[in-house]
Structure 1
Amino acid sequence: MLENIRIVLINTFHPGNIGAAARAMKNMGLKQLWLVNPQEFPSPEADARAAGGIDLLENAVVVNTLEEAIADCQLVLGTSARTQRSFDLPLVDARTAATQMVSEAGQGQIALVFGRETMGLHNNELQQCNLHVYIPANPEYPVLNVAQAIQLLCYELWIAAQAPVSQPAQETYPRQREMALFYEHLEKVLRLTQFIIPQHEGKVLDKLRRYFNRSRPEKTELNMLRGILASVEETVERLKSPAEQNKDKQP
């Protein structure tokens, strides 16, 4: 189960934290390390801090964006010490999150995302996640450094993986790249039907993305939604006047 769970670090500026992450993962049986635009990698300091986890650094996948790092994942969890944000993602503690990750890992890839050392994940990055994970700690000072947070969450994953999964997840969820295509299709139809007006767009798309990330439609449900959008497109095109149709065809 743990082989399908990846640790994703975003824009890490201290290479020692990358090495510490590799060591923590090695301790707890995780193998996939993904790095989004690290400021310094490879690095001798990362190698030194990795100790026995040097093989994870050698096999680390380096990408430019979070979208690339999670494209083939069916479940994405973003970590943050700040539990009060301006949008409503389901909030789970580390132990609950680990249990869910292990239960779904047999169905596909899972990503656990960590942000920058100084400011964590940006809001737009958390909006790409399905769940918001926090580590319960002293409320007067709940902030852990990123290496500590990775070690604790990897430990919870290891413990969860040792327990028999009595009822493994049966649902088949779409990957993030499929959700991205759905959001593009949804935006296209909302503009076509003038539900979204360019001069007054507001935050409709952000709110809808948040809703679908939170509700997590299954693959069959997503296919139904795509079918509904396609039907709306066809109906709008059929109802257009000849003049409007000719206008659309003009370069």
Structure 2
Amino acid sequence: MNPALASLGARSPHRLVTPLDRVHVVLSHPSHPGNIGAAARAMKTMGLSHLTLVNPKRFPDDEAIARAAGAEDVLVQATVCESLELALSNTIFAVAISARHRNLGPEPMQARQAAPEILAQAENGKVALVFGNETAGLSNAEVQRCQRTVFIPANPDYSSLNLASAVQLICYELRLAAFDGSPPVITKAVPFASPLATNDDVERFYAHLERVMIDTGFLDPQQPRRLLPKLRRLFGRTELERDEINILRGILDAVEKRIDKQGADR
């Protein structure tokens, strides 16, 4: 193994086990190492980790590592084969990813339609998603080795996709199907915790607001009309937090200080 790859971190032991673990991405004759790294990154973001390379032009390669951008573990675990026949030797189901309709070979299916069947097959064993060379795609012979042909319904006037982009889209459809359209979302954001304002907090704010509006001449206490009820409705649309009440009252305090200062200067 390339020392640069061997020194990289291993796969996280806490990774969620999913049906996607039996789905292998096979890149046939990739010509650019950057695309290999970008494909590895695309796979990992969607929860796939098994990569097989058929006769890559350059691999291992520093550019592949650079483009993997955090998915180096996928490259570390990658299998390199001399032929597609060897790459598919232990699979029970192979899917050719191709935008071209072939006279021979399986009837093409859209990626979203094919995803449930691919995952169902993965329940029984190893499944391969076969992507072709960046320039020529898959040959007819390679497509005929697969049980299904899947395409991405891109713009018919310009359907050319970068290899890594195609990998990302297919893996995305599989991820959606694997989790019934609602994949788990883990966020690193820590929500700001502030207790909700009590009724007393809110009522003191309304009293403070009314006092300042009167002092500034914005509210005529003799003809208040519906201003205060409308303001109550406005603030009542959300659950005010105590910190938010403190901010609002701080603004009102600043207004009162300015009024007092102007009065003293006269």
TM-score band by shorter chain is 0.5 to 0.7
Encode CA deviations 1:189-234: one digit per residue, 9 max, x unaligned.
xxxxxxxxxxxxxxxxxxxxxxxxxxxxxxxxxxxxxxxxxxxxxx
**Residue in 2 aligned with 1:4?**
22
Contact 1:3–1:31 under 8 Å retained in 2: yes
CA apart distance, 1:90:
2.0
CA apart distance, 1:133:
0.6
**Residue in 2 aligned with 1:44?**
62
Encode CA deviations 1:131-170: one digit per residue, 9 max, x unaligned.
1110001111112111110010011111111129xxxxxx
72, 85, 100: which one aligns with 1:67: 85
Distance in 1, Cα, partners of 2:106 & 2:98: 12
Gaps of 5+ in 2: 1-18, 182-266
CA separation of 1:88/1:126 partners in 2, compared to 1, >3 Å: closer, same or farther? closer
**Residue in 1 aligned with 2:146?**
129
CA apart distance, 1:78:
0.3
AA of the residue aligned to 1:15 = P
**Residue in 1 aligned with 2:97?**
79
Distance in 2, Cα, partners of 1:139 & 1:40: 32
Encode CA deviations 1:88-146: one digit per residue, 9 max, x unaligned.
41211111222111122111110000000001000010010111110001111112111
Contact 1:76–1:111 under 8 Å retained in 2: yes
Does residue 54 (structure 1) correspond to residue 72 (structure 2)? The answer is yes
Distance in 2, Cα, partners of 1:50 & 1:43: 11
163, 179, 187: which one aligns with 1:162: 179
Q: Where has structure 1 moved over 6 Å in runs of 4 or more?
A: none
CA apart distance, 1:55:
0.2
Does residue 94 (structure 1) correspond to residue 111 (structure 2)? The answer is yes
Give the root-mean-square deviation of aligned CA atoms. 1.1
**Residue in 2 aligned with 1:21?**
39
AA of the residue aligned to 1:2 = L
CA apart distance, 1:48:
0.5
CA apart distance, 1:86:
2.4
Gaps of 5+ in 1: 165-251
**Residue in 2 aligned with 1:111?**
128
AA of the residue aligned to 2:119 = V
Q: What is the TM-score when the length of structure 1 is the normalising length?
A: 0.63
SS at match of 2:130: strand
Contact 2:53–2:78 under 8 Å retained in 1: yes
Q: What is the TM-score when the length of structure 2 is the normalising length?
A: 0.60
SS at match of 1:26: helix
AA of the residue aligned to 2:70 = G
Distance in 2, Cα, partners of 1:18 & 1:88: 26
Instruction: From the two aligned structures, give the one with the greater helix fraction.
Output: 1
Contact 1:90–1:130 under 8 Å retained in 2: no
